[in-house]
Amino acid sequence: MQIGKMNKHEAEAVSQMVANAFYDKFQDKTQLTKKQLQKLLKLVWIQEADSFSMTIFTVQAEGEVVGAFGCSTSGQFKPGLRLLAKTAATIKAIGPRAFVSFVKAGLSTSRNPAPTEWYIDFIAVKESHRNQSIGHDIMDYLTGAALSDPEIDNLTLYVLKGNDRAKHLYEKYGFIEQYSKPESDYYFMKKVIRY
């Protein structure tokens, strides 16, 4: 298994995995089809990750992308002309109401991390490769990378309420639930790397 930064040729595979993993999060609130969601994620989020201070990594097994995750650091939102053009084209294609619904759903787990924090935006594993310890490999990678960066004190993430398997994995790796707002569908979790 190899983990490395996503290259532009992997954006399609990553957007498919993310759409499959998080379709329920968006479908109830946006009425987008899975294909529309995947295209939207790819065009205005995955391919434009730098605009959001996010780095996307892929997990490969035998030359196939089988997992992906994104991490954000503190930074400013930097919309470029390309992102603005893609956003305008997307709004024209799906309509402003669907786009606003998509943004609201996405922002429900958005976070501007502190300078000493890495925020895990998403973790997605290809359905055919689940239950093969890929989540463990990702958590090991993130923990090791954070430990090797003296500026990073903690890792944070949101996990969907009811996703007990994911929550258990994060707890196993030292993440502790920090809070959950009653109106929220998510728990906010944090792992302290160093004090």
Which pLDDT value is given to residue 189? 96
Note the CATH architecture for domain 2-192: 3-Layer(aba) Sandwich (3.40)
Which pLDDT value is given to residue 89? 87
> In sequence order, what are the residues at sequence separation of 6 or more whose Cβ sits closer than 8 angstroms to the Cβ of residue 48?
80, 82, 83, 86
pTM, whole model, 2 decimals?
Answer: 0.89
Q: Which residues of the chain have pLDDT under 70?
A: none
Spans of all domains in the chain: 2-192
Which pLDDT value is given to residue 100? 87
Asked whether 67 and 126 are in contact (CB, 8 A), the reply is: yes
Question: pLDDT tens digits, residue range 61-110?
Answer: 999 999 999 999 887 777 778 888 988 988 888 888 888 888 888 777 88
CA distance 158 to 144: 20
Which pLDDT value is given to residue 149? 95
CA distance 2 to 104: 34
Which pLDDT value is given to residue 9? 95
- Measured CA to CA in angstroms, residue 52 lies from 2, 15, 104, 111 at distances of 25, 16, 16, 10
List the structure tokens of 134. Answer: 């890929």
